[in-house]
Amino acid sequence: MKKSKKGKTGGALVLMGAFVMLPLITTITNSYMTEREIALNYSAKLTYFDLDDAMNETFRKITFIPNPVTLSQYAAVLVYQPSFLLLLLNSLKITAPVTAGTLIIALLTAYGFTVSEWKHKEKAFMAYIVVMLMPLQAVIVPNYIIAELLGIPRSYLAIILPGVFSPFGVFLMRQNMKALPFAYIEAARMDGANDITILIRIIMPNMKSSIAALCMLTFIEYWNTVEQAIVFIDDYTKEPLSIYLSRIADTAMGLIFAASCVYMAPPLWFLFSGQEHLEKGIELSGVK
């Protein structure tokens, strides 16, 4: 009886996993199709009168096996469209500084909240948590006002600076630092180590999983940034790749699947290569 229940549960999980993976599988397999085949499969026009029929017809046309298999989409994206690589570089110009800056600020701030003893420390940390819980839509207008005051409303700094000082990184690092034995820090201080030495040589080596988790989560979040780029960047040549993909279907339907695969490659590589660190880092922080 127990085996039967486990079998049903396992089957349900497999079906749910297959359903969740369906868009990813479709994107990867369709990226090896020709532009003509994609146009035939996804060119149905939906109208008010024939919406149901058009949707059913489109669903029936979706295929998973390309015929023939070709790399023409990838060639068109990576070779014949230099603008795609330019926008890919734009995404890196945003995500790399945000990831590095977030790690540095989060470690220093979390160290101050964990090790230092000062009045109202817990109240200040609660303010961090309140800001962390606020949705992006609630803080993007204040961010824009501050960017205007600093004279950077149309630059990458308007996106990078709020990301670097994100409270989530401080919360994640502090929760992990609290789990470390305080005796390590006391022993290092008795040996004459200063705060920077303690942070670099004692705390950071014991927080590799948490640091990797923070880097992965920050990179993925800002790699997929859309709202900030729409608000702060008005030059098409400076837009990140995430904005380009949102309108590529209107201009180059035959390239959308290959472009999406290239766009997904860095986040997927991060997740697959650091999955163990990500799980352990989040588990140690107590984030559910």
In 3D space, the residue among 174, 72, 156 whose CA is nearest the CA of residue 113 turns out to be 174
Same domain, 155 and 24: no
DSSP 203: I
> In degrees to the nearest 10, what's the CA dihedral of 218, 222, 225, 229?
140
Q: What is the CATH number of the domain that holds 249?
A: 1.10.3720.10
Please report whether residue 75 resides in a domain.
Answer: no
Q: Which residue type occupies 204?
A: M
Domain boundary among 40, 70, 100: 70
> Which tens digits make up the pLDDT trace of 25-52?
888 888 898 888 887 777 655 444 444 5
Same domain, 52 and 91: no
What mean pLDDT, rounded, does the chain reach?
82
Please report whether residue 76 resides in a domain.
Answer: no
The position carrying tokens 């497999």 is 14
As a whole number, mean pLDDT of residues 262-288 equals 72
Q: In the prediction, which pLDDT does 99 show? A: 95
Q: Which residue type occupies 77?
A: V
Same domain, 107 and 23: no
User: Which residue has better confidence, 50 or 117?
Assistant: 117
Containing structural domain, residue 106: 81-285
Same domain, 108 and 207: yes
How many domains does the structure of the chain reveal? Answer: 2
Same domain, 208 and 152: yes
Same domain, 96 and 138: yes
Check whether 203 has a pLDDT greater than 70.
Answer: yes
In 3D space, the residue among 282, 263, 273 whose CA is nearest the CA of residue 91 turns out to be 263
**Which pair of structure tokens corresponds to residue 88?**
């890919």
Q: How confident is the model at residue 108 (pLDDT cuts 50, 70, 90)?
A: very high
Domain boundary among 70, 95, 124: 70
Same domain, 103 and 166: yes
Same domain, 177 and 51: no
Same domain, 161 and 91: yes
Flag whether the pTM goes above 0.85. Answer: no
Please report whether residue 12 resides in a domain.
Answer: yes
Of 70-84, 154-168, 210-224, the poorest mean pLDDT is in 70-84
> Which tens digits make up the pLDDT trace of 145-178?
999 999 998 899 999 999 999 899 999 899 888 8
Check whether 284 has a pLDDT greater than 70.
Answer: no
Check whether 135 has a pLDDT greater than 90.
Answer: no
Same domain, 15 and 155: no
Chain length of the chain: 288
Same domain, 104 and 236: yes
Same domain, 33 and 105: no
Check whether 71 has a pLDDT greater than 60.
Answer: yes
